[in-house]
Amino acid sequence: MSTLMQPSAATAVQPNLCKTLFATCVGNALEWFDIAVYGFFASYIAHAFFPTQDPSVSLLLTFGSFGVSFLIRPFGAIVLGAYADRAGRKKALMLSIQLMMLGGVIIVLMPSYSSIGLIAPVMILLARLIQGFSAGGEFGSSTAFLVEHFPERRAFIASWQFATQGASTLMASAFGLGLTQWLSEAQIQQWGWRIPFAFGLLIGPVGLYIRRHVHEPASFTAQQQTHSPLKLLVGQQKRLLLLAIGLMVISTAINYMLNYVPTYATKSLHLPGSAAFSATLLAGVILTVVTPLMGMWAEKIGRRPLMWSSLGLLILTIYPAFLLVVNHPTGGMLLVLVGWMALLKSVYFSTVPSMMADLFPTATRASGMAISYNIAVTVFGGFAPLICTMLITATGTSLAPSYYLMVLALVSGWALYKSQRRLKN
């Protein structure tokens, strides 16, 4: 494991914990809020920008655009991660949030397909590509920024990266639940689905202002980068990249499964939208509250016991949980399924950012984390809704998502086993 603090850190000004947390996590929150909203309102977006005579095809096109936008994330990770490792974490964080805001503006203001034709879906895809590129560098830069400022509390401080994802899910779910209660189906379809995207734009300027007033970590400013981070990763640290990807796959798959819940509940289980959004609201609460608590607990007992416990419980229980909700498709059973997935995710997810940060040395930390994170998110997360929709269609069973999650839990278990030899806890 690399040493995080250099001698120059002794003379550095001690950063404010709350200010540093907010500055780094706000971009992560904006990224995941937009992702969650897009997933929650996929059926409305499909009608507005990808209309076809077959609703299933329209929905597949929408989730396809959702997934395709993730293909650019590894490219954003390479460019922005290397920029963070060479020019500084702060500069990369400033650039990523500006690009996120640009993509958000396009989505909010773009007229529907019925108004301007083919330009509408093309511009929506462009907006998602811009946001995907910016998000590609966000996780690596912000997590490196956090653990390098507070290395002695890296498990707890890094867990907030994923706690903010829970908060974003919570806010997005609240919008979904509120809109289904206060607006008619026609109003949501016509203009209501744009409201949460417009709200997301308000987060950006606040984050941009805060990020302008934070300082680089002392351990980064002490580095003298003489090699390309990408060359170091590809030439000497390929194994570290594979391990980091493996650690992430089950975590990101569950995250996108939670985003897929509204569509799964309404299309496959034929439950009302209010039941689906209530379930995701519960998931947001659990992820927001439990994740940092697990980060604090990991500081006391170590990270591995929490990670092994959550993976084992997931493999043993996820199929019975899906079977229960499929055989008894009620709002209450959906709450049980989603709440259980969110709880297991919180336990595992809380430890992953600091574990990934410890795998890489300071000189390649932002790049290594960004690239491994975004490969995992792109392959196993961004296309999860599309894969699950296709699996359900191909197998004819609504239990198919549980098979997907069990396989990925085994992959992450392999990565955890290999990683634990390199790290202390």
Residue 367's nearest CA partner among 231, 249, 163 is 231
Q: How far apart are CA 189 and CA 195, in angstroms?
A: 11
Q: pLDDT tens-digit profile of 257-283?
A: 776 777 777 777 888 877 877 887 888
pLDDT recorded at residue 178: 87
> What is the identity of the amino acid at 300?
K
pLDDT recorded at residue 312: 96
Query: Residue written as tokens 């640009």?
Result: 102
Q: pLDDT tens-digit profile of 285-340?
A: 898 899 999 999 998 998 999 999 999 999 999 999 989 888 888 888 888 988 99
C-alpha Rg value of the chain to the nearest Å:
21
What's the mean per-residue pLDDT of the chain? 83
pLDDT recorded at residue 385: 73
Could you list the mean pLDDT of each consecutive 10-residue stretch along the chain, which spans 425 residues? 39 68 80 78 79 68 70 88 87 88 89 85 86 85 86 85 79 83 86 88 81 77 63 87 94 81 76 80 87 92 93 95 88 89 92 91 89 87 77 83 91 93 67
Q: How far apart are CA 241 and CA 152, in angstroms?
A: 24
Whether residue 309 contacts residue 253, with contact meaning beta carbons closer than 8 Å, is answered with no
Helix 304-327 to helix 331-349 angle (10° resolution) is 170
> How open is the CA angle 235-355-375, to the nearest 5 degrees?
55
Residue 37's nearest CA partner among 280, 318, 253, 236 is 280
Q: How far apart are CA 253 and CA 57, in angstroms?
A: 23
Cβ atoms within 10 Å of 297's Cβ, excluding its own:
20
CA 178 to chain CA centroid, Å, is 23
108-112, long-range: CB < 8 A, 24+ apart:
108/194, 108/197, 108/198, 108/201, 110/49, 112/48, 112/49
Whether residue 4 contacts residue 151, with contact meaning beta carbons closer than 8 Å, is answered with yes
Query: For the chain, how many residues are written?
Result: 425
